[in-house]
Amino acid sequence: MSAMLLALTGTALCFGLCLVLVGGLRAPRTRILAALGLVPAAGACVAFTSAAFELQLELLARYANGLAALALGFAHAVVFSLAALPRERVWLRGWMLFSGLWAGAFGALWIFDPERHLAFDVLLGVFAVATIASWIALPFATRERGFTQHGALTVPSVRFACPRCGTRVDWGRGVAACTDCGLFLHIAWPAREDAPAKAAPDVERSVRFSCPECGSRGRWNDGLSTCSGCGLRLSLHWNVHRTQR
């Protein structure tokens, strides 16, 4: 493959990273992380593109790879911050998140500094292995089971992004807390017949998830909603007030 094609592949990959990071800007929890990651990601896009069309290939390509490694670390952290982990395995998040962030930072330093140090190489290797292991584990750890553990109880659940922090959570029927920011949310289906309906649903306060009865995907408002597919009545409530952390 020619150097130009290789550099253009780099541009495409970094553009993909930019898209992941822009997605991270939407969730309050990853807003800063995503903004920081966009700097090297955009830089790498520019560096790869100019490496493809200009003469100083070697130097530019070195910067491009280093910036891409840094951006990859941030994109990894965004993905792992928002991934839905089962309540009992949420402690894994910190390990998975930081291994990728550090692997990206160390990888960038490794590319920028041509001198080799054994201790540094070992450290980079450890973080790289932990990052790869996290990616292999991700599809298994985030598989939607349709239930969640509330202590010893198994409760049916629905999955949607926490309205406060943006992390995806499996919310158990009844009262459930966000696995990451602790927001309390009440969700019940079928809703009680005497549940009061709101006069005007607030579009700002709604979330998207699949109906627990028929599986059709839709938007559910804070308050009482009815599934357009099967007519299931579902009530959903969460607290608006921001709590200090």
Which of 84, 103, 187, 211: binder of Zn ion (CB under 5 A)? 211
SS3 of the chain: CCHHHHHHHHHHHHHHHHHHHHHHHCCHHHHHHHHHHHHHHHHHHHHHHHHHHCCCHHHHHHHHHHHHHHHHHHHHHHHHHHCCCCHHHCCHHHHHHHHHHHHHHHHHHHHHCCCCCHHHHHHHHHHHHHHHHHHHHHHHHCCCCCEEEECCEEEEEEEEECCCCCCEEEEECEEEECCCCCCEEEEECCCCCCCCCCCCCCCCCEEEEECCCCCCEEEEECEEEECCCCCCEEEEEECCCCCCC
Among the candidate windows 93-101, 112-120, 132-140, 227-235, which touches Zn ion by CB under 5 A? 227-235
Site membership for Zn ion, residue 240 (CB under 5 A): no
Among the candidate windows 34-42, 89-97, 222-230, 234-242, which touches Zn ion by CB under 5 A? 222-230
Which of 33, 78, 165, 236: binder of Zn ion (CB under 5 A)? 165
Among the candidate windows 59-67, 123-131, 152-160, 213-221, which touches Zn ion by CB under 5 A? 213-221
Nearer of residues 43 and 223 to Zn ion, judged by Cβ: 223
Number of residues that bind Zn ion (CB under 5 A): 13
Binding site for Zn ion (CB under 5 A): 162, 164-165, 178, 181, 183, 211, 213-214, 227, 229-230, 232
